[in-house]
Amino acid sequence: MNIEAVEILIVGAGPAGSVAAALLRQQGRQVLVIEREQFPRFSIGESLLPQSMAYLEQAGMLQAVVEAGFQFKNGAAFMRNGCYTDFDFRDKHSAGWGTTYQVQRADFDHVLAKEAERFGAEVRYRHEVLDIELGKDGASALVTVKGADGAQYQVRAGFILDASGFGRILPRLLDLETPSNFPVRGAIFTHVEDGIHGGGFDRTKIRVTVHPKHCNVWFWTIPFAGGRCSLGVVAETSFLDRYQGSATERLQAIVAEEPSLSALLQNAKWDTPARQIVGYSANVDKLWGEGYALLGNAGEFLDPVFSSGVTIAFKSASLAAAALQRQFAGEQVDWQADFGAPLRKGVDTFRAFVESWYAGGFQTIIFHDKQQPEVRRMISSILAGYAWDQSNPFVKDTPRRLAALEAICAAA
């Protein structure tokens, strides 16, 4: 079997893999990206957070994203039982970007992958990693790959970054997976020609709508440029299993239960068959090991409610690239201190807010009718993706601060 050598092998050409590849190429590293699919390909996670723009800028990809013509986004709106509230991400506690985009991921991910190639990374589409044998005592890993023609070959990699997303290649092959502490939830989703004209609908914001009877069931409506939007419902599988028919019919039936959303989409054309994913929340016992690190969803995926997935992916790519730069320069790198722990800090901040959302506490906060402006700006920063900003009390001491704010709003 043919064996080739590469400094860094990246598994997956999605957002984490492409940004990591561009950053590493800027360091002069030799980078090979193995991607199982042919781009462009469908994916969800379509509403970016402003924090992600800094990483696109760092990777030298910002101009390409701006020129792609995606829907401008400046915030998030929430609807529950006829009550509406929204956050403008430009009005926030943290310094940095306050605007971003809502993107069809097929196009967005392809833009990033092409940018990685522009920087000199080699991307091989329709190539699949079959097996990984990690090296010992600093030796290179041996990776078995099946090419687009079905022939197998092997790659000796000095370091592996797993950016395989829900494929979770290394966690599966190396038995790193641990159970998520979230209930098993699923999502049914599609793209529609939304037919929304006026009616107070702000296309610059994602809208999150809470089911009128179940606070742990919610809908996303993500407007795209060109009059289309992404539409989905998220709930525990026991709720979704109550509905019969095709995925499209089930989604339509659940949407019909929410008056404001069904009215908003009354002229929509359901021209794309809906899909369903189940049990997407995932966790691992460690985010790195000898000769490898896990990026984005390959390491951990929380929940789509706050659109944190791509931002976490970019953050992990940035941290890993910085650690590898030092490692290739001959420095001793503490991967837990320089990668694992700081990445977990932001993920844990998002986790606390996700848990509070489903318990109903965070919903009480955001729909409270007497919000203090400074506290609101702190919350806006986290919703904008700034979950690593230690100057924000709701990042520095998330559980205590969030619980205290929940209690105050509930009492009021």
- How far is 168 from 187, CA to CA, in rounded Å? 19
Q: Residue 196 has which token pair?
A: 């929304």
Give me the residue label for tokens 């390409």: 64
Dihedral angle of Cα 204, 206, 212, 215, to the nearest 10 degrees: -140
pLDDT at residue 148 in the model: 97
pLDDT at residue 391 in the model: 97
Q: Residue 72 has which token pair?
A: 């401008």
Angle between helical axes of 398-411 and 341-359 (0-180°, round to 10): 20
The radius of gyration of the chain's CA atoms, rounded to the nearest angstrom, is 21
What's the topology of domain 185-278? D-Amino Acid Oxidase; Chain A, domain 2 (3.30.9)
Contact 219, 211 (CB under 8 A): yes
Note the CATH number of domain 3-69+103-179+281-346: 3.50.50.60
Please list, in sequence order, all residues whose beta carbon lies within 8 angstroms of the beta carbon of residue 1, skipping any fewer than 6 positions away.
144, 152, 153, 154
Contact 178, 300 (CB under 8 A): no
pLDDT at residue 176 in the model: 85
Per-residue pLDDT of the chain (412 residues; tens, 9 = 90+): 789 999 999 999 999 999 999 999 999 999 999 999 999 999 989 999 999 999 999 999 999 999 999 999 999 999 999 999 999 999 999 999 999 999 999 999 999 999 999 999 999 999 999 999 998 876 799 999 999 999 999 999 999 999 998 888 998 888 887 777 778 899 999 999 999 987 679 999 999 999 999 999 999 999 999 999 999 999 999 999 999 999 999 999 999 999 999 999 999 999 999 999 987 666 788 899 999 999 998 777 778 889 999 999 999 999 999 999 999 999 999 999 999 999 999 999 999 999 999 999 999 999 998 899 999 999 999 999 999 999 999 999 999 999 999 999 998 7
pLDDT at residue 262 in the model: 96
Contact 187, 279 (CB under 8 A): no
- How far is 390 from 410, CA to CA, in rounded Å? 26
Could you tell me the residue ranges of all domains in the chain? 3-69+103-179+281-346, 185-278
Bin 92: left if φ > 0, else alpha if -120 < ψ < 50, else beta: beta
- How far is 321 from 323, CA to CA, in rounded Å? 5
Does a cis peptide bond (omega within 30 degrees of 0) precede residue 40? yes
pLDDT at residue 281 in the model: 66
Contact 346, 387 (CB under 8 A): yes
Type of residue numbered 19: V
Handedness of CA 190, 195, 200, 204 (dihedral sign): positive
